[in-house]
Structure 1
Amino acid sequence: MQPASYHSEPQYEEEAKPFAYDYAVNDHYTGTNFAKNEKSDGHNTQGYYSVALPDGRVQHVKYVADNYGGYNAEVTYEGEAQYPEYHPAPAYKASAPAYKAAAPAYKAAAPAYKASVPVYKPAYSSPTPAYKAAAY
């Protein structure tokens, strides 16, 4: 006995519908260049796309897809791959700044007050001893 599945099998009640679309982008400023075209009669799909590769070639793909044959593609390339000579970036050494850090333009202010001397006198005086020192 197989364990129960957590998810039920999806039920597709809708009939596949025919469609067709295409688009293309060719931006000379950024070098972005790609296109796609696809159409379907609801059962068989066929299409084409192309894309500019980083090595300078253009890849073209023609494909056909259906429920029986799966996805079948014919891939071709236009142009020849270009691999420019590698030039490592120059060794960069940060230079020392041409300026000196500024010293603070202020000095701490001296206190503007003087501590005052107490002006009160104690209201009591030391008591005089009430005993006499013993004679030897």
Structure 2
Amino acid sequence: MSAKIVVVMVFLVSKVLADPSDTYGPPVHQPAYQEPIPYNFAYGVSDEYAGTDFSQTEESDGNTVKGSYTVLLPDGRKQTVTYVADPYNGYQAEVSYYGEAQYPREYGAPVTFRPQASYQPQPSYQQPSYQ
């Protein structure tokens, strides 16, 4: 009986010592605060055969993000979105279009990709020469 009491007492003491004393204080492992990092990037894709044309540029000073992206729409117009985003004003965008929409009465053949030559390795061997 006394062994059970000793085991229970050891369990209770270990439980009290394992719990943090200040449960309302800051966490033991606080995440490190990182300063915002400035960046800039740009990319663009233009494939006349497939009819795709789009691009994007963006830059940030670590607090405010400014950029724009452009895409060629199916009706032939180019759509450009210029934007600014920051923690105080949020995301603000201005959309503009270039060109006039084209709606053909007849459509051409669907866009297909050219067949690629399949890879067919040829065995290479040489007859041994016994001279």
TM-score range, shorter chain: 0.5 to 0.7
Q: Quick check: which has more Rg, 1 or 2? A: 1
Runs of 4+ with >4 A deviation: none
1:17 aligns with 2:29: no
The two structures, once aligned, show a CA RMSD in angstroms of: 1.7
In structure 2, what is the equivalent of residue 68 of structure 1? 88
Aligned to 1:57: 77
More helix by percentage? 2
Q: CA deviation at 1:14?
A: 1.9
User: Displacement of 1:62 after TM fit?
Assistant: 0.8
Percent identity between the aligned chains? 52
Give the count of matched residue pairs. Answer: 77
Q: CA deviation at 1:16?
A: 1.5
Offset at 1:61? Answer: 1.0
**Out of 38, 53, 74, which is 2:58 matched to?**
38
Q: Matched residues in 1 for 2:32 and 2:98: separation?
A: 41
Q: In structure 1, the residue corresponding to 2:45 is in which secondary structure?
A: strand
Matches within 5 A, 1:73-92: 73-85=93-105
Structure 1 gaps of 5+ residues are: 1-10, 88-136
Mapped to 2, the partners of 1:77 and 1:43 lie a distance apart of 29
Please report the TM-score for the alignment, with normalisation by the length of structure 1. 0.53
* TM-score scaled by length of structure 2: 0.55
Return 5+ residue gaps in structure 2 as ranges.
Answer: 1-30, 108-131
